[in-house]
Amino acid sequence: MCGIVGYIGKRDVAPLLLEGLQRLEYRGYDSAGVVITGKSGVLKTVKAKGRVRELEARIPKRFTGTTGIAHTRWATHGAPNDENAHPHLDADGKVALVHNGIIDNADDLRAKLIADGVEFTSETDSEVVVHLIGRSQADTLEAKVQEALRRIEGTYGIAVMHQDFPDRIVVARNGSPVVLGIGDKEMFVASDVAALVSHTRQVVTLDDGEMATLKADDFRTYTTEGSTTSATPTTVEWEAESYDMGGHDTYMHKEISEQPDAVDRVLRGRIDDRFSTVHLGGLNLDPREARSVRRIKILGCGTSYHAGQIGAQMIEELARIPSDAEPASEFRYRNPVVDPDTLYIAVSQSGETYDVLAAVQELKRKGARVLGVVNVVGSAIARETDGGVYVHAGPEVCVVSTKCFTNTVVAFGLLALHLGRIRDLSVADGKRIIAGLRKLPAQIAEMLEGEAEIEKLAAEYAGAKSMMFIGRVRGYPVAREASLKLKEISYIHAEAYPASELKHGPLALIEPALPTVAIVPDDELLEKNRAALEEIKARSGRILAVAHQVQEKADHTIVVPKNEVELDPILMGIPLQLFAYHTAKAMGRDIDKPRNLAKSVTVE
Ligand code: M6R
């Protein structure tokens, strides 16, 4: 969603800010803007509805300076237009602010400010903050910002410049990420390391309630109450190239093709052949605690929720702990019973998804133990949880998740094996699962080699108005995820059902114009799945099966390599990522930036 970039140093700031904004485009946005301190010391602002390239086209020739902040906006309060784009200025045009998050009491504050004679130029909640800062009588910019923050309720990541304090940018965080990038006599700030890594890999991530003052050759961090905090820079794991397209036509294609290496990474250094188990260093759950867990509840949204559903099945099968997954967005609103013997696991690729973070915070408040299965190291959810497993998929730029989904499911496989071996999973079964895990990278590579065939199939099915996805037990979350992937990027309506539920309703939809994608693994439910194919065929439905062997009743079968049954869901989803990709491509869709969607949903 919204993105922030800022710079203070000696270089010409506008090109740096535009480059940073381009690197944040993947998060989703609908307008962009930039403010710099011009040569005369006056703030100069340019804003544009639409893409960063439209903002760039509006930047005048002499737009030079060495300090500036910029923003990509995802509309929440007010339409996407030039006026509502950030940065916002106070009434005197001396203070500029960019803001990510939502100010809950904006309406009240706006009414009070209007009563005091303030004229608003936008419909945004963010504008109230800049007016509060501008009207503060405090002596320093830091104190002005603190005074304003004391009056607002809600979430924010903000960056503020003030014409009377040209040597600094002040930033603050509460619920919306703010990362400082430390350069050589220059400082950067961004809401996402993607905007920083081409300049520096030394970063400091602010905590909620923390602020920072950035000067060209120095920075300091402190709380919104003014107490100094210690900030030790860490090194970002990924090189700038990891955020580039690397010769692929889309990030989605690049990320699908990276999966053999990504899966290799999530396994690396974790397998313990001696005890037929795995080591998960950051779990913070000793064997005695692991044995006392009576139930596991997994929480995530979208694709991560689907990965959690597969994870719950793996844990239940391998560790025999009753487990289930639930959308975090629902869980947090239903006043759930929080049971001390239940282990909660929050799943998130970005580690920023607000619904997941809010669920974690509610659980922590009630004293629950919460682990994280997260991709982005040091992200809000990773830091809020008591321990967890990083999925090490590497940066995922495409809005739709592919490699992170796969790595998350593999991470759940590791967790299930770990818990299983602490409980009742035998050494022999441990060995069997480890052998299966080790086969995954090569098997994924083998499947990716079949891309040309999948492309042909996608061309055949691309004309469908609607598609049905079915699977049973282990195959059902795979069907759900494949259906989500297809609808996200092709905009073809897709439904996912357990194959067992067909005759309880959805069979009524089956006809030649509604193709069905069926997940048909060679497991104990093979014959039951085949019966479902028969039922569809009897109603002249077209079938594309994803199976371990060619399915007679299907019009087409994508054959996937066989692994251990518990690990089947990891492999069966991969050809369907390519299927969604090629279907969307055949339809001319903007694959990396599907309409109405953002990569990280950091607001409600
Ligand atoms: O970053 P998260 O994994 O927490 O994101 C959760 C969902 O918003 C995300 O998975 C979404 O469903 C993607 N568009 C999936 O492709």
Assigned domain for 419 exists: no
* Of 51, 47, 24, 52, nearest in space to 36 by CA: 47
Domain end residue (candidates: 212, 243, 274): 243
Instruction: Please report which confidence band the pLDDT of residue 87 belongs to, taking 50, 70 and 90 as the band edges.
Output: very high
Assigned domain for 36 exists: yes
CA 555 – ligand 1 centroid, Å: 32
What's at 286, amino acid-wise?
A: D
Stretch 394-418: mean pLDDT = 96
- Alpha-carbon distance 345 to 563, whole Å? 26
Task: Report the CATH number at residue 98.
Answer: 3.60.20.10
At 26 the pLDDT is: 79
Instruction: Please report which confidence band the pLDDT of residue 56 belongs to, taking 50, 70 and 90 as the band edges.
Output: very high
Which residue puts its alpha carbon closest to atom 4 of ligand 1?
Answer: 348
Q: What 3 state SS string does 233-270 have?
A: CEECCCCHHHHCCCCCCCHHHHHHHCHHHHHHHHHCCC
- pLDDT, one tens digit per residue, over 276-286 is 999 998 999 99
**Helix, strand, or coil (residue 169):** strand
Which residue puts its alpha carbon closest to atom 14 of ligand 1?
Answer: 400
Assigned domain for 313 exists: no
Assigned domain for 73 exists: yes
CA 350 – ligand 1 centroid, Å: 8
At 600 the pLDDT is: 75
Query: For the chain, what percent of residues have pLDDT higher than 70?
Result: 100
- pLDDT, one tens digit per residue, over 412-454 is 999 999 999 999 999 999 999 999 999 999 999 999 999 999 9
Catalytic residues: 2, 599
CA-to-CA dists, residue 453 to 250, 426, 558, 568, angstroms: 19, 40, 9, 21
What's at 588, amino acid-wise?
A: G
CA-to-CA dists, residue 86 to 15, 96, 160, 303, angstroms: 18, 9, 11, 30
Assigned domain for 370 exists: no
CA 503 – ligand 1 centroid, Å: 31
At 476 the pLDDT is: 97
Which residue puts its alpha carbon closest to atom 16 of ligand 1?
Answer: 400
Considering only 35-39, 263-267, 378-382, 554-558, which range has the smallest mean pLDDT?
A: 378-382
545 exposure class (CB count in 10 Å sphere: 0-12, 13-18, 19+): buried
- pLDDT, one tens digit per residue, over 262-308 is 999 999 999 999 999 999 989 999 999 999 999 999 999 999 999 99
**CB neighbours of residue 498 within 10 Å:** 18
Residue 599 has pLDDT above 80, yes or no: no
Average pLDDT, the chain: 94
At 463 the pLDDT is: 87
The finding on whether 376 has its CB within 6 A of some atom of ligand 1 is: no
At 378 the pLDDT is: 83
Task: Report the CATH number at residue 518.
Answer: 3.40.50.10490
First to last CA, the chain: 11
At 382 the pLDDT is: 93
CA 111 – ligand 1 centroid, Å: 36
Assigned domain for 408 exists: no
Q: Where are the beta strands (DSSP E) in 125-267?
A: 156-162, 169-174, 179-182, 187-190, 202-205, 210-215, 218-223, 234-235
Question: Both tokens of residue 9?
Answer: 């140093």
Stretch 117-130: mean pLDDT = 95
Query: For the chain, what percent of residues have pLDDT higher than 90?
Result: 86
At 594 the pLDDT is: 87
In the chain, the number of structural domains is: 2
At 127 the pLDDT is: 96
Q: Which residue segment(s) compose the domain that 565 sits in?
A: 450-604
At 148 the pLDDT is: 97
Residue 6 has pLDDT above 80, yes or no: yes
Residue 36 has pLDDT above 90, yes or no: yes
Assigned domain for 130 exists: yes
The finding on whether 263 has its CB within 6 A of some atom of ligand 1 is: no
The atom number, within ligand 1, closest to the CA of 399 reads 14
Domain end residue (candidates: 218, 243, 268): 243
Between 82 and 529, the higher pLDDT residue: 529
The atom number, within ligand 1, closest to the CA of 402 reads 16
Q: Which of 304, 374, 391, 603 maximizes ligand 1 atoms within 8 Å of its Cβ, making it the mutation to test the pocket? A: 304
**CB neighbours of residue 280 within 10 Å:** 20
Assigned domain for 135 exists: yes
At 190 the pLDDT is: 97
Which residue puts its alpha carbon closest to atom 11 of ligand 1?
Answer: 302
- pLDDT, one tens digit per residue, over 132-185 is 999 999 999 999 999 999 999 988 999 999 999 999 999 999 988 899 999 999
**CB neighbours of residue 91 within 10 Å:** 16
CA-to-CA dists, residue 402 to 193, 308, 377, 538, angstroms: 20, 14, 18, 34
At 604 the pLDDT is: 73
- pLDDT, one tens digit per residue, over 315-361 is 999 999 999 999 999 998 988 899 999 999 999 999 999 999 999 99
At 48 the pLDDT is: 94
Q: pTM for the complete prediction?
A: 0.85
The atom number, within ligand 1, closest to the CA of 401 reads 16
Stretch 488-492: mean pLDDT = 96
Q: Where are the beta strands (DSSP E) in 313-405?
A: 323-327, 342-348, 369-374, 387-390
What's at 560, amino acid-wise?
A: V
Which residue puts its alpha carbon closest to atom 7 of ligand 1?
Answer: 302
